[in-house]
Structure 1
Protein backbone atom coordinates (compact mmCIF):
# COMPACT_ATOMS: atom_id res chain seq x y z
CA UNK A 1 0.00 0.00 0.00
CA UNK A 2 1.14 3.51 -0.75
CA UNK A 3 1.44 5.66 2.33
CA UNK A 4 3.44 8.74 3.17
CA UNK A 5 5.18 8.86 6.54
CA UNK A 6 8.12 10.87 7.79
CA UNK A 7 11.63 9.40 7.41
CA UNK A 8 11.84 8.86 11.18
CA UNK A 9 8.56 6.96 11.17
CA UNK A 10 9.64 4.98 8.09
CA UNK A 11 12.74 3.77 9.93
CA UNK A 12 10.67 2.82 13.00
CA UNK A 13 8.18 0.90 10.82
CA UNK A 14 11.01 -1.05 9.19
CA UNK A 15 12.53 -1.96 12.57
CA UNK A 16 9.14 -3.09 13.96
CA UNK A 17 8.39 -5.13 10.81
CA UNK A 18 11.74 -6.94 11.13
CA UNK A 19 11.27 -7.73 14.82
CA UNK A 20 7.71 -9.03 14.37
CA UNK A 21 8.44 -10.92 11.14
CA UNK A 22 5.92 -8.88 9.17
CA UNK A 23 6.01 -6.98 5.91
CA UNK A 24 6.31 -3.19 5.87
CA UNK A 25 2.84 -2.94 4.31
CA UNK A 26 1.29 -4.99 7.13
CA UNK A 27 2.86 -2.78 9.79
CA UNK A 28 1.82 0.38 7.91
CA UNK A 29 -1.76 -0.92 7.63
CA UNK A 30 -1.86 -1.50 11.39
CA UNK A 31 -0.25 1.93 11.99
CA UNK A 32 -3.08 3.61 10.10
CA UNK A 33 -5.67 1.50 11.94
CA UNK A 34 -4.23 2.50 15.34
CA UNK A 35 -4.06 6.14 14.24
CA UNK A 36 -7.71 6.05 13.14
CA UNK A 37 -8.57 4.72 16.59
CA UNK A 38 -6.96 7.70 18.30
CA UNK A 39 -3.98 5.63 19.41
CA UNK A 40 -6.01 3.50 21.83
CA UNK A 41 -7.86 1.08 19.56
CA UNK A 42 -7.74 -0.40 16.03
CA UNK A 43 -10.10 -2.20 13.71
CA UNK A 44 -8.13 -3.99 11.01
CA UNK A 45 -8.17 -6.60 8.26
CA UNK A 46 -4.59 -7.77 7.62
CA UNK A 47 -4.00 -11.27 6.14
CA UNK A 48 -0.59 -11.61 7.82
CA UNK A 49 -2.32 -11.13 11.21
CA UNK A 50 -5.17 -13.60 10.73
CA UNK A 51 -7.53 -11.38 8.75
CA UNK A 52 -10.12 -9.19 10.50
CA UNK A 53 -9.65 -8.28 14.12
CA UNK A 54 -9.99 -5.64 16.78
CA UNK A 55 -7.53 -4.26 19.35
CA UNK A 56 -8.11 -2.01 22.33
CA UNK A 57 -5.36 -0.79 24.61
CA UNK A 58 -5.58 -2.42 28.02
CA UNK A 59 -5.74 -6.07 27.00
CA UNK A 60 -8.81 -6.64 24.80
CA UNK A 61 -7.67 -8.18 21.50
CA UNK A 62 -9.78 -10.16 19.02
CA UNK A 63 -8.38 -12.03 15.99
CA UNK A 64 -9.86 -14.34 13.35
CA UNK A 65 -8.96 -17.46 15.35
CA UNK A 66 -10.23 -16.68 18.82
CA UNK A 67 -8.23 -19.59 20.31
CA UNK A 68 -4.86 -18.45 18.88
CA UNK A 69 -3.42 -16.82 22.02
CA UNK A 70 0.03 -16.43 20.47
CA UNK A 71 -1.44 -14.35 17.64
CA UNK A 72 -3.40 -12.26 20.17
CA UNK A 73 -0.20 -11.51 22.07
CA UNK A 74 1.58 -10.63 18.82
CA UNK A 75 -1.15 -8.20 17.74
CA UNK A 76 -1.32 -6.64 21.21
CA UNK A 77 2.45 -6.06 21.31
CA UNK A 78 2.49 -4.63 17.77
CA UNK A 79 -0.39 -2.23 18.44
CA UNK A 80 1.11 -1.03 21.71
CA UNK A 81 4.40 -0.22 19.98
CA UNK A 82 2.60 1.64 17.18
CA UNK A 83 0.53 3.56 19.73
CA UNK A 84 3.73 4.62 21.49
CA UNK A 85 5.23 5.60 18.13
CA UNK A 86 2.24 7.84 17.36
CA UNK A 87 2.54 9.49 20.78
CA UNK A 88 6.28 10.20 20.64
CA UNK A 89 7.12 10.67 16.95
CA UNK A 90 5.89 12.84 14.09
CA UNK A 91 4.58 10.01 11.95
CA UNK A 92 2.82 11.91 9.18
CA UNK A 93 4.26 14.96 7.40
CA UNK A 94 2.28 18.18 7.90
CA UNK A 95 -0.42 18.79 5.33
CA UNK A 96 0.11 21.98 3.28
CA UNK A 97 -2.33 24.66 4.33
CA UNK A 98 -5.22 24.98 1.91
CA UNK A 99 -6.98 28.18 1.00
CA UNK A 100 -9.88 28.79 3.35
CA UNK A 101 -13.01 30.02 1.69
CA UNK A 102 -16.46 31.15 2.69
CA UNK A 103 -17.83 29.58 5.89
CA UNK A 104 -14.44 28.19 6.95
CA UNK A 105 -14.39 25.45 4.27
CA UNK A 106 -11.14 24.76 2.47
CA UNK A 107 -10.86 24.87 -1.27
CA UNK A 108 -10.00 21.15 -1.45
CA UNK A 109 -12.07 19.68 1.41
CA UNK A 110 -15.78 19.64 2.16
CA UNK A 111 -15.44 19.94 5.99
CA UNK A 112 -14.87 23.22 7.92
CA UNK A 113 -11.20 24.17 7.72
CA UNK A 114 -10.99 24.98 11.43
CA UNK A 115 -11.42 21.29 12.26
CA UNK A 116 -7.89 20.56 11.03
CA UNK A 117 -6.69 17.34 9.38
CA UNK A 118 -8.92 14.25 9.80
CA UNK A 119 -7.53 10.88 10.81
CA UNK A 120 -9.98 9.11 8.55
CA UNK A 121 -12.47 9.98 5.79
CA UNK A 122 -14.87 7.96 3.70
CA UNK A 123 -18.43 7.61 2.47
CA UNK A 124 -21.32 5.20 2.92
CA UNK A 125 -25.05 5.24 2.18
CA UNK A 126 -24.65 8.43 0.15
CA UNK A 127 -23.04 10.35 3.05
CA UNK A 128 -19.44 11.42 3.57
CA UNK A 129 -17.68 11.49 6.94
CA UNK A 130 -14.43 12.85 8.38
CA UNK A 131 -13.14 11.93 11.86
CA UNK A 132 -11.02 14.36 13.92
CA UNK A 133 -9.89 12.55 17.12
CA UNK A 134 -7.58 15.39 18.18
CA UNK A 135 -10.49 17.81 18.62
CA UNK A 136 -13.16 15.16 19.31
CA UNK A 137 -15.15 16.16 16.22
CA UNK A 138 -17.04 14.25 13.53
CA UNK A 139 -18.13 15.93 10.29
CA UNK A 140 -20.83 14.39 8.08
CA UNK A 141 -21.97 15.72 4.68
CA UNK A 142 -25.23 14.63 3.07
CA UNK A 143 -27.11 16.31 0.23
CA UNK A 144 -24.77 19.28 0.34
CA UNK A 145 -25.34 19.94 4.09
CA UNK A 146 -22.38 19.51 6.45
CA UNK A 147 -23.03 18.82 10.12
CA UNK A 148 -20.40 18.75 12.87
CA UNK A 149 -20.75 16.65 16.05
CA UNK A 150 -18.89 16.44 19.36
CA UNK A 151 -17.79 12.81 19.76
CA UNK A 152 -17.20 13.20 23.53
CA UNK A 153 -15.36 10.20 25.00
CA UNK A 154 -15.87 8.04 21.91
CA UNK A 155 -12.63 6.92 20.28
CA UNK A 156 -13.94 6.04 16.83
CA UNK A 157 -12.27 2.98 15.37
CA UNK A 158 -14.32 2.52 12.22
CA UNK A 159 -17.63 2.78 10.40
CA UNK A 160 -20.20 0.05 10.98
CA UNK A 161 -21.03 -1.64 7.71
CA UNK A 162 -24.75 -1.48 7.01
CA UNK A 163 -26.63 -3.66 4.56
CA UNK A 164 -29.54 -1.87 2.95
CA UNK A 165 -29.27 1.05 5.36
CA UNK A 166 -31.28 4.21 4.91
CA UNK A 167 -29.72 6.84 2.69
CA UNK A 168 -27.57 9.26 4.66
CA UNK A 169 -27.40 7.12 7.82
CA UNK A 170 -24.05 6.20 9.35
CA UNK A 171 -23.08 4.12 12.37
CA UNK A 172 -19.64 4.07 13.97
CA UNK A 173 -17.75 1.78 16.37
CA UNK A 174 -15.81 2.87 19.46
CA UNK A 175 -14.70 1.40 22.77
CA UNK A 176 -18.36 1.70 23.83
CA UNK A 177 -19.68 -0.34 20.90
CA UNK A 178 -21.80 0.79 17.93
CA UNK A 179 -23.45 4.22 17.92
CA UNK A 180 -24.86 6.77 15.48
CA UNK A 181 -25.07 10.56 15.41
CA UNK A 182 -28.39 10.61 17.30
CA UNK A 183 -26.43 10.04 20.52
CA UNK A 184 -23.97 12.91 19.84
CA UNK A 185 -24.23 16.66 20.40
CA UNK A 186 -24.50 18.57 17.14
CA UNK A 187 -22.35 21.70 16.91
CA UNK A 188 -23.34 22.93 13.45
CA UNK A 189 -21.20 23.49 10.37
CA UNK A 190 -18.61 25.76 11.98
CA UNK A 191 -15.75 24.44 14.09
CA UNK A 192 -16.14 25.12 17.80
CA UNK A 193 -13.46 25.43 20.48
CA UNK A 194 -12.41 22.15 22.09
CA UNK A 195 -14.49 22.67 25.23
CA UNK A 196 -18.07 23.43 24.19
CA UNK A 197 -19.94 25.97 26.24
CA UNK A 198 -22.34 24.28 28.58
CA UNK A 199 -26.00 24.80 27.82
CA UNK A 200 -27.69 27.26 30.14
CA UNK A 201 -29.54 25.75 33.03
CA UNK A 202 -33.30 25.46 32.38
CA UNK A 203 -35.37 28.23 33.75
CA UNK A 204 -37.86 27.14 36.35
CA UNK A 205 -40.95 29.00 37.34
CA UNK A 206 -40.29 31.25 40.26
CA UNK A 207 -41.36 29.76 43.54
CA UNK A 208 -44.26 31.64 45.14
CA UNK A 209 -43.24 34.17 47.69
CA UNK A 210 -45.21 33.99 50.87
CA UNK A 211 -45.72 36.96 53.14
CA UNK A 212 -43.88 36.57 56.39
CA UNK A 213 -45.96 35.65 59.38
CA UNK A 214 -46.93 38.70 61.46
CA UNK A 215 -44.82 39.28 64.49
CA UNK A 216 -46.87 40.05 67.58
CA UNK A 217 -45.56 42.13 70.42
CA UNK A 218 -44.93 40.04 73.48
CA UNK A 219 -47.58 40.23 76.15
CA UNK A 220 -46.66 42.70 78.89
CA UNK A 221 -45.33 41.14 82.01
CA UNK A 222 -46.91 42.59 85.13
CA UNK A 223 -45.15 42.65 88.42
CA UNK A 224 -46.82 40.37 90.93
CA UNK A 225 -49.04 42.11 93.43
CA UNK A 226 -47.28 42.69 96.73
CA UNK A 227 -48.12 40.24 99.42
CA UNK A 228 -48.77 41.94 102.74
CA UNK A 229 -48.30 40.20 105.98
CA UNK A 230 -51.58 39.77 107.83
CA UNK A 231 -52.24 42.50 110.38
CA UNK A 232 -51.49 41.41 113.89
CA UNK A 233 -54.46 40.47 115.94
CA UNK A 234 -54.68 42.18 119.29
CA UNK A 235 -56.91 41.13 122.00
CA UNK A 236 -57.98 43.69 124.49
CA UNK A 237 -55.95 43.22 127.60
CA UNK A 238 -57.79 41.69 130.46
CA UNK A 239 -58.39 44.13 133.32
CA UNK A 240 -56.07 43.60 136.18
CA UNK A 241 -56.57 45.29 139.48
CA UNK A 242 -58.28 48.53 138.19
CA UNK A 243 -61.77 49.10 136.85
CA UNK A 244 -62.86 47.81 133.46
CA UNK A 245 -63.13 51.33 132.11
CA UNK A 246 -59.50 52.07 132.98
CA UNK A 247 -58.38 48.90 131.27
CA UNK A 248 -60.38 49.71 128.12
CA UNK A 249 -59.00 53.25 128.02
CA UNK A 250 -55.47 51.88 128.43
CA UNK A 251 -56.09 49.41 125.59
CA UNK A 252 -57.40 52.21 123.33
CA UNK A 253 -54.31 54.30 124.10
CA UNK A 254 -52.10 51.30 123.29
CA UNK A 255 -53.94 50.82 120.00
CA UNK A 256 -53.59 54.53 119.25
CA UNK A 257 -49.83 54.20 119.69
CA UNK A 258 -49.74 51.31 117.24
CA UNK A 259 -51.87 53.31 114.82
CA UNK A 260 -49.51 56.26 114.97
CA UNK A 261 -46.53 54.00 114.30
CA UNK A 262 -48.29 52.62 111.22
CA UNK A 263 -48.65 49.12 112.52
CA UNK A 264 -52.47 49.42 112.48
CA UNK A 265 -54.37 50.85 109.56
CA UNK A 266 -57.14 53.37 110.02
CA UNK A 267 -59.80 50.71 109.54
CA UNK A 268 -58.16 48.29 111.95
CA UNK A 269 -57.73 50.99 114.59
CA UNK A 270 -61.32 52.15 114.18
CA UNK A 271 -62.63 48.58 114.36
CA UNK A 272 -60.72 47.72 117.55
CA UNK A 273 -61.54 51.06 119.12
CA UNK A 274 -65.23 50.46 118.45
CA UNK A 275 -65.03 46.98 120.01
CA UNK A 276 -63.38 48.38 123.16
CA UNK A 277 -65.78 51.27 123.45
CA UNK A 278 -68.62 48.79 123.13
CA UNK A 279 -67.50 47.19 126.41
CA UNK A 280 -67.91 50.36 128.43
Structure 2
Protein backbone atom coordinates (compact mmCIF):
# COMPACT_ATOMS: atom_id res chain seq x y z
CA UNK A 1 0.00 0.00 0.00
CA UNK A 2 1.49 3.30 -1.06
CA UNK A 3 1.79 5.98 1.60
CA UNK A 4 0.53 9.43 0.63
CA UNK A 5 0.23 12.79 2.34
CA UNK A 6 -3.08 14.47 3.05
CA UNK A 7 -4.09 17.44 0.92
CA UNK A 8 -3.06 20.12 3.41
CA UNK A 9 0.37 18.54 3.85
CA UNK A 10 0.90 18.31 0.09
CA UNK A 11 0.20 22.04 -0.22
CA UNK A 12 2.84 22.80 2.41
CA UNK A 13 5.35 20.49 0.75
CA UNK A 14 4.65 22.01 -2.66
CA UNK A 15 5.46 25.49 -1.33
CA UNK A 16 8.74 24.21 0.09
CA UNK A 17 9.58 22.52 -3.22
CA UNK A 18 8.97 25.76 -5.12
CA UNK A 19 10.95 27.78 -2.59
CA UNK A 20 14.03 25.55 -2.92
CA UNK A 21 13.57 24.86 -6.66
CA UNK A 22 13.26 21.08 -6.34
CA UNK A 23 10.50 18.66 -7.33
CA UNK A 24 7.58 17.79 -5.06
CA UNK A 25 8.66 14.13 -5.23
CA UNK A 26 12.06 15.04 -3.75
CA UNK A 27 10.44 16.95 -0.89
CA UNK A 28 7.99 14.10 -0.22
CA UNK A 29 10.84 11.58 -0.03
CA UNK A 30 12.75 13.76 2.43
CA UNK A 31 9.61 14.34 4.49
CA UNK A 32 8.94 10.60 4.79
CA UNK A 33 12.44 9.75 5.99
CA UNK A 34 12.31 12.67 8.44
CA UNK A 35 8.94 11.49 9.76
CA UNK A 36 10.41 8.07 10.55
CA UNK A 37 13.06 9.70 12.75
CA UNK A 38 10.74 12.20 14.43
CA UNK A 39 12.25 15.06 12.43
CA UNK A 40 15.80 14.57 13.68
CA UNK A 41 17.49 12.67 10.87
CA UNK A 42 17.16 11.99 7.13
CA UNK A 43 18.92 9.28 5.14
CA UNK A 44 18.14 9.46 1.46
CA UNK A 45 19.10 8.45 -2.06
CA UNK A 46 17.59 11.10 -4.33
CA UNK A 47 19.08 11.85 -7.75
CA UNK A 48 18.03 15.51 -7.59
CA UNK A 49 20.13 15.87 -4.41
CA UNK A 50 23.20 14.13 -5.79
CA UNK A 51 22.28 10.56 -4.85
CA UNK A 52 22.90 9.16 -1.39
CA UNK A 53 23.22 11.46 1.59
CA UNK A 54 22.42 12.07 5.23
CA UNK A 55 21.27 15.00 7.32
CA UNK A 56 21.10 15.34 11.10
CA UNK A 57 19.53 18.10 13.14
CA UNK A 58 22.36 20.04 14.74
CA UNK A 59 24.95 17.80 13.07
CA UNK A 60 26.72 17.37 9.77
CA UNK A 61 25.18 17.18 6.30
CA UNK A 62 26.61 14.59 3.91
CA UNK A 63 25.98 14.34 0.16
CA UNK A 64 27.43 12.15 -2.58
CA UNK A 65 29.43 15.05 -4.01
CA UNK A 66 31.29 15.80 -0.78
CA UNK A 67 32.96 18.97 -2.11
CA UNK A 68 29.72 20.53 -3.36
CA UNK A 69 29.07 23.03 -0.57
CA UNK A 70 26.16 24.57 -2.45
CA UNK A 71 24.38 21.20 -2.56
CA UNK A 72 25.11 20.62 1.14
CA UNK A 73 23.57 23.99 1.99
CA UNK A 74 20.53 23.19 -0.14
CA UNK A 75 19.98 19.87 1.61
CA UNK A 76 20.49 21.47 5.02
CA UNK A 77 17.96 24.24 4.34
CA UNK A 78 15.43 21.77 2.93
CA UNK A 79 15.71 19.32 5.81
CA UNK A 80 15.77 22.03 8.47
CA UNK A 81 12.54 23.54 7.16
CA UNK A 82 10.86 20.14 6.82
CA UNK A 83 12.03 19.09 10.28
CA UNK A 84 10.47 22.18 11.84
CA UNK A 85 7.02 21.66 10.34
CA UNK A 86 7.15 17.97 11.23
CA UNK A 87 7.97 18.80 14.85
CA UNK A 88 5.08 21.28 14.79
CA UNK A 89 2.75 18.46 13.74
CA UNK A 90 1.92 20.10 10.40
CA UNK A 91 2.62 17.04 8.21
CA UNK A 92 0.26 14.04 8.13
CA UNK A 93 -0.04 10.97 5.92
CA UNK A 94 -3.08 8.90 5.00
CA UNK A 95 -3.52 5.31 3.94
CA UNK A 96 -5.42 5.08 0.62
CA UNK A 97 -8.88 3.55 0.38
CA UNK A 98 -8.95 -0.20 0.96
CA UNK A 99 -10.94 -2.64 -1.21
CA UNK A 100 -13.06 -4.23 1.50
CA UNK A 101 -16.77 -4.72 2.16
CA UNK A 102 -18.50 -1.82 0.38
CA UNK A 103 -20.46 -0.93 3.51
CA UNK A 104 -17.26 -0.50 5.50
CA UNK A 105 -15.20 0.94 2.64
CA UNK A 106 -13.62 4.27 3.62
CA UNK A 107 -10.36 6.17 3.69
CA UNK A 108 -8.41 5.59 6.87
CA UNK A 109 -6.46 8.61 8.14
CA UNK A 110 -3.31 7.80 10.08
CA UNK A 111 -1.03 10.29 11.81
CA UNK A 112 2.71 9.72 11.70
CA UNK A 113 4.08 10.47 15.13
CA UNK A 114 7.53 11.44 16.31
CA UNK A 115 8.27 7.99 17.76
CA UNK A 116 8.13 6.37 14.30
CA UNK A 117 6.71 2.87 13.81
CA UNK A 118 7.33 1.28 17.22
CA UNK A 119 3.63 0.60 17.61
CA UNK A 120 0.60 1.96 19.45
CA UNK A 121 1.64 3.56 22.76
CA UNK A 122 -0.02 2.63 26.04
CA UNK A 123 0.48 6.18 27.29
CA UNK A 124 1.81 9.51 26.04
CA UNK A 125 2.41 12.84 27.71
CA UNK A 126 4.57 15.89 28.19
CA UNK A 127 6.55 17.34 31.07
CA UNK A 128 8.36 20.65 30.73
CA UNK A 129 10.40 20.37 27.49
CA UNK A 130 10.07 16.58 27.20
CA UNK A 131 7.51 14.38 25.45
CA UNK A 132 7.25 10.65 26.13
CA UNK A 133 5.47 7.61 24.70
CA UNK A 134 5.21 4.26 26.54
CA UNK A 135 5.08 0.94 24.67
CA UNK A 136 4.70 -1.74 27.34
CA UNK A 137 3.96 -4.52 24.83
CA UNK A 138 7.25 -3.82 23.07
CA UNK A 139 9.08 -3.01 26.36
CA UNK A 140 10.06 0.37 25.00
CA UNK A 141 9.97 3.99 26.20
CA UNK A 142 10.42 6.78 23.64
CA UNK A 143 11.60 10.24 24.71
CA UNK A 144 11.60 13.39 22.57
CA UNK A 145 13.72 16.19 24.02
CA UNK A 146 15.87 18.97 22.55
CA UNK A 147 15.00 17.88 19.02
CA UNK A 148 16.25 14.32 19.61
CA UNK A 149 14.38 11.00 19.84
CA UNK A 150 15.76 8.40 22.28
CA UNK A 151 14.43 4.86 22.74
CA UNK A 152 14.87 2.96 26.02
CA UNK A 153 14.46 -0.73 26.90
CA UNK A 154 12.07 -0.94 29.88
CA UNK A 155 12.79 -4.67 30.42
CA UNK A 156 10.37 -6.00 33.10
CA UNK A 157 8.98 -2.58 34.07
CA UNK A 158 5.37 -1.80 33.17
CA UNK A 159 5.50 1.97 32.83
CA UNK A 160 2.44 3.96 33.83
CA UNK A 161 3.54 7.57 33.44
CA UNK A 162 5.85 10.27 34.75
CA UNK A 163 6.58 10.06 38.47
CA UNK A 164 6.83 12.86 41.01
CA UNK A 165 10.16 14.68 41.21
CA UNK A 166 11.56 14.88 44.71
CA UNK A 167 12.90 18.24 45.93
CA UNK A 168 15.70 19.61 43.77
CA UNK A 169 16.24 16.31 41.96
CA UNK A 170 16.09 17.01 38.22
CA UNK A 171 16.19 13.33 37.27
CA UNK A 172 13.23 12.19 35.15
CA UNK A 173 11.37 9.34 36.82
CA UNK A 174 8.53 7.10 35.66
CA UNK A 175 6.11 4.98 37.65
CA UNK A 176 6.04 1.21 37.25
CA UNK A 177 4.66 -1.80 39.09
CA UNK A 178 7.96 -1.79 41.01
CA UNK A 179 7.72 1.85 42.06
CA UNK A 180 9.59 4.79 40.55
CA UNK A 181 12.27 4.11 37.95
CA UNK A 182 14.77 6.76 36.85
CA UNK A 183 15.27 7.35 33.15
CA UNK A 184 19.06 7.09 33.48
CA UNK A 185 18.66 3.61 34.99
CA UNK A 186 17.03 2.32 31.80
CA UNK A 187 19.14 1.05 28.91
CA UNK A 188 19.20 3.49 25.99
CA UNK A 189 19.17 1.60 22.69
CA UNK A 190 18.77 4.53 20.26
CA UNK A 191 19.72 8.19 20.51
CA UNK A 192 22.75 10.13 21.68
CA UNK A 193 23.01 13.74 20.54
CA UNK A 194 26.78 14.02 21.00
CA UNK A 195 27.48 10.81 19.10
CA UNK A 196 25.20 11.97 16.29
CA UNK A 197 27.10 15.22 15.95
CA UNK A 198 30.52 13.61 15.98
CA UNK A 199 29.91 10.38 14.06
CA UNK A 200 27.02 11.50 11.82
CA UNK A 201 25.04 8.33 12.33
CA UNK A 202 22.62 6.94 14.87
CA UNK A 203 24.40 6.15 18.12
CA UNK A 204 23.56 2.82 19.68
CA UNK A 205 24.17 2.36 23.38
CA UNK A 206 23.76 -1.30 24.27
CA UNK A 207 25.19 -2.16 27.68
CA UNK A 208 27.85 0.53 27.26
CA UNK A 209 28.99 -1.04 24.01
CA UNK A 210 28.56 0.90 20.78
CA UNK A 211 28.16 4.54 21.73
CA UNK A 212 30.89 6.96 22.79
CA UNK A 213 31.60 6.60 26.49
CA UNK A 214 34.29 7.39 29.00
CA UNK A 215 36.21 4.56 30.60
CA UNK A 216 38.99 2.10 29.85
CA UNK A 217 40.74 1.92 26.50
CA UNK A 218 38.95 -0.11 23.78
CA UNK A 219 41.31 -3.07 24.18
CA UNK A 220 40.45 -3.30 27.89
CA UNK A 221 36.69 -3.02 27.29
CA UNK A 222 36.63 -5.56 24.46
CA UNK A 223 38.37 -8.16 26.60
CA UNK A 224 35.36 -8.08 28.95
CA UNK A 225 32.82 -8.58 26.14
CA UNK A 226 31.60 -12.19 25.85
CA UNK A 227 30.42 -13.91 22.68
CA UNK A 228 26.91 -13.92 24.15
CA UNK A 229 27.06 -10.14 24.62
CA UNK A 230 28.13 -9.64 21.01
CA UNK A 231 25.32 -11.77 19.57
CA UNK A 232 22.84 -10.01 21.84
CA UNK A 233 23.98 -6.64 20.47
CA UNK A 234 23.77 -7.88 16.89
CA UNK A 235 20.20 -9.02 17.57
CA UNK A 236 19.31 -5.56 18.91
CA UNK A 237 20.92 -3.95 15.88
CA UNK A 238 18.74 -6.13 13.66
CA UNK A 239 15.63 -4.95 15.49
CA UNK A 240 16.66 -1.32 15.05
CA UNK A 241 17.28 -1.91 11.34
CA UNK A 242 13.84 -3.53 10.94
CA UNK A 243 12.22 -0.50 12.57
CA UNK A 244 14.07 1.89 10.27
CA UNK A 245 16.27 3.50 12.92
CA UNK A 246 19.47 2.49 11.13
CA UNK A 247 20.22 1.70 7.49
CA UNK A 248 21.25 -1.63 5.98
CA UNK A 249 24.80 -0.32 5.51
CA UNK A 250 25.06 0.87 9.13
CA UNK A 251 23.80 -2.50 10.35
CA UNK A 252 26.33 -4.39 8.21
CA UNK A 253 29.21 -2.17 9.36
CA UNK A 254 28.36 -2.52 13.07
CA UNK A 255 27.77 -6.26 12.72
CA UNK A 256 31.19 -6.69 11.06
CA UNK A 257 32.82 -4.62 13.81
CA UNK A 258 31.22 -6.72 16.56
CA UNK A 259 32.02 -10.07 14.94
CA UNK A 260 35.66 -9.04 14.62
CA UNK A 261 35.88 -9.04 18.43
CA UNK A 262 35.13 -12.77 18.73
Please classify the TM superposition score into its range, dividing by the shorter chain length.
0.3 to 0.5
More strand by share: 2
Q: TM-score, normalised by structure 1?
A: 0.41
Q: TM-score, normalised by structure 2?
A: 0.43
More helix by share: 2
Larger-gyration structure (1/2): 1
